[in-house]
Structure 1
């Protein structure tokens, strides 16, 4: 078992968001599209592709019905970031009874690391949450997540308000599709 710090961060107002612009070279190549219909296969794919290297394991054994229940209804939204028509990242928002909105899942696929999309995608995520009527937007991350996660949340104006310790089983390789193998970098073609 590995001791993991789980950090909770929040932002209380859109006015305190420290926006990050989309890099100029991707202006005409990036789209953010909300998935309007619940589709468990899509959310499971994004969850595994983004979180596989970071021990996102709690949903991997879910049935189709569990996925459908989690992503259906008026309190859940999924947004997908596409670069050149290919998924580059995503986020899921969940509205709680007091109108606080949780960033349930957020991240980039490995091919999108280092392209400057993370800060922009988090900016859009927080904007979408407040546009949805959020009284506050919050997220939790942990020491197993991507090393840039905490810095990105703080850079956008979220502040840390709580930490918990958990024990997680990390004895097996991360369940990522390539289990942490060295992936060749596939650069988006220049346009």
Structure 2
């Protein structure tokens, strides 16, 4: 396979008041925290959301690597459900000194374009800001950040900017182009 140029943008909020929430979508859409660390469920979400946008960094992880990530104090997975079906997720990972990364965020392809993404990002960002309230011993959140790249969905950057994130870094790097199998080969139409 060949190499492709990938632009990565890093964005942040430095105050809770930076968050500009999206309106909740119509219908029975709920965002629920997955409180029991489940490597199987988290891998399903990761592979299903990232199947068409080439998320590959965790595909080779072992069960133990998934478990170690999910069992870190303060790591949280928030899942958007549409009428009981998981449609996307946001994974929060605390760092040092009150910095929280939105490590993963996205929707399964069938749930995109239905106003769920803005709502889920708003909800997840709010949970990043109040993370220390649920995890005694964590520093109070002072900064929430994330990164997106040119492989992500066409509306990703606009969603982040509309939620009040501001750009603080841009990098362009060559990456080896890889095919992603998704949750199973052929799961998403090309």
- Return 5+ residue gaps in structure 1 as ranges: 183-191
CA distance in 2, matches of 1:48, 1:140: 18
SS, match of residue 48 in structure 1:
helix
2:127 matched residue in structure 1 = 128
CA distance in 1, matches of 2:74, 2:116: 26
Match of 2:159 among 145, 152, 158: 152
2:6 matched residue in structure 1 = 4
1:33 matched residue in structure 2 = 32
May I ask how many residue pairs the two structures share in their alignment? 178
- Note the C-alpha offset of 1:175: 2.9
Q: Any idea what the Cα deviations from partners look like across 1:35-75, whole Å, max 9, x if unmatched?
A: 11111001100000001111100110111001111111213
1:137 matched residue in structure 2 = 144
CA distance in 1, matches of 2:93, 2:18: 21
1:17 matched residue in structure 2 = 19
2:179 matched residue in structure 1 = 173
Query: 40-49 or 71-80, which moves further after superposition?
Result: 71-80
- Note the C-alpha offset of 1:111: 1.2
TM normalised by structure 1 equals 0.89
- Note the C-alpha offset of 1:173: 3.2
CA distance in 2, matches of 1:82, 1:103: 19
Is contact 1:33–1:80 with CA below 8 Å preserved after alignment? yes
Is contact 1:53–1:179 with CA below 8 Å preserved after alignment? no
- Note the C-alpha offset of 1:174: 3.6
SS, match of residue 20 in structure 2:
coil
TM normalised by structure 2 equals 0.89
- Note the C-alpha offset of 1:180: 4.9
Is contact 1:173–1:179 with CA below 8 Å preserved after alignment? no
Is contact 1:30–1:82 with CA below 8 Å preserved after alignment? yes
Query: 44-53 or 73-82, which moves further after superposition?
Result: 73-82
Is contact 1:9–1:161 with CA below 8 Å preserved after alignment? yes
The RMSD of aligned alpha carbons is 1.3
SS, match of residue 157 in structure 1:
coil
Is contact 1:11–1:158 with CA below 8 Å preserved after alignment? yes
